[in-house]
Amino acid sequence: MAENRLWPLRRFLEGYRRRVGLCHQHAEARVEPREAATELKSYPDALPVLKSLREAGIRLAFLSNLTPYMLGSAIKSSGLEGIFEPSLSTDRVRVYKPDPRAYQMEIDAFNLRREEILFAAFGGWDAAGAKLFGYPTFWVNRLNLPIEELGVAPDAIGQNLTDLVDFVKAQRRL
């Protein structure tokens, strides 16, 4: 894999660690995306909530800026194997989210219209990008961060995946 393809991801990981206070003792500690992907762990609510969504007949996909190798490693290390129908890497279309071509991958994978897909994001920037693309959006704002100043807000915000389930149930009753 070309080093220049990893550079934006490495910068993101380093900046994210600083933003949420996860820095190593040494400020110059370098984050290696391949290694980070193999060490990711899911939040305790992830597996039971995602399984309950699947059991309710909701199709789940994972759309990520990680390479296919890193995405597969992250899913495996987090214990979420078998939960997602497709695991979609933006590497396939050679762009990063929030480029609209990245979000188009879900429409193509599921053969659905934009309004039939609920995009749930961990990053506020990703929720904004999906909303600008036309998806209904839910931001899982575990870090209680302010809404990104990008001129658009997600349809709903919660602090965990249980809040996402509540939102999905409310939408299905409409």
The answer to whether position 46 is within a domain reads: yes
Bridge partner residues of 119 (DSSP): 137
Q: How many domains does the chain have?
A: 1
> Quick check: pTM over 0.75?
yes
Match 């409409």 to its residue by tokens: 174
Domain range for residue 145? Answer: 37-173
* CA angle, residues 114, 118, 122, in degrees to nearest 5: 125
The answer to whether position 5 is within a domain reads: no
CATH code of 140's domain: 3.40.50.1000
The answer to whether position 83 is within a domain reads: yes
Strands (E), 84-149: 87-89, 119-121, 137-140
The answer to whether position 32 is within a domain reads: no
- The pLDDT value recorded for residue 28 is 47
Cα dihedral value 114, 120, 121, 122, nearest 10 = 180
The answer to whether position 6 is within a domain reads: no
- The pLDDT value recorded for residue 41 is 86
Q: Return per-residue pLDDT of the chain as tens, 174 residues.
A: 444 555 454 555 555 555 545 444 444 445 555 566 667 789 999 999 999 999 999 999 999 998 898 889 889 989 999 999 989 999 999 999 999 999 999 999 999 999 999 999 999 999 999 999 999 999 999 999 999 888 999 999 999 999 999 999 998 875
The answer to whether position 14 is within a domain reads: no
Assigned token pair, 124? 């506020």
